[in-house]
Amino acid sequence: MNQGQPEVQLSALRLKYHERKDAFLEENIKIKNPFCIFRDWLELALKTPEILEPNAAALATVNPQGKPSNRFVLVKEATAEGFTFFTNYGSRKADDILENPNVAISFYWMPLRRSVRIEGVAEKIPKADSLKYFHERPRASQIGAIASPQSRRIPSRGYLDELEAGIKAQLGPEEEVPLPNWGGYLVRPNLIEFWQGQTDRLHDRIRFRRGQGVQTEVDGKLIHGGEDGWIYERLAP
Tell the burial category of 172 from Cβ atoms under 10 Å away from its Cβ (0-12, 13-18, 19+): exposed
* Predicted local distance difference test score (pLDDT) of residue 2: 60
Cα–Cα distance measured from residue 237 to residue 228, given in angstroms and rounded to the nearest whole number = 26
- The C-alpha angle 42, 44, 48, rounded to 5 degrees, equals 115
- Residue ranges and CATH numbers for the domains of the chain are 16-126+182-234 (2.30.110.10)
Cα–Cα distance measured from residue 155 to residue 57, given in angstroms and rounded to the nearest whole number = 29
Helix (H/G/I), strand (E/B), else coil: 194: strand
Give the tens place of pLDDT for each residue, 19-40.
Answer: 888 899 999 999 999 999 999 9
Mean pLDDT of 132-145: 97
Cα–Cα distance measured from residue 135 to residue 99, given in angstroms and rounded to the nearest whole number = 29
Q: Are 117 and 41 in contact (CB under 8 A)?
A: no
Q: How far is C-alpha 13 from the geometric centre of its chain's CA atoms?
A: 26
Q: Cβ contacts of residue 194 below 8 Å, gap of 6+? A: 24, 34, 37, 38, 41, 114, 115, 116, 204, 205, 206, 207, 208
* Predicted local distance difference test score (pLDDT) of residue 52: 97
Give the tens place of pLDDT for each residue, 87-124.
Answer: 999 999 999 999 999 999 999 999 999 999 999 999 99
* Predicted local distance difference test score (pLDDT) of residue 17: 86
Name which of 176, 217, 166, 221 is nearest 230 in CA terms. 217
**Helix-strand-coil split of the chain, %, nearest 5:** 30, 30, 40
Residues forming the active site: 201
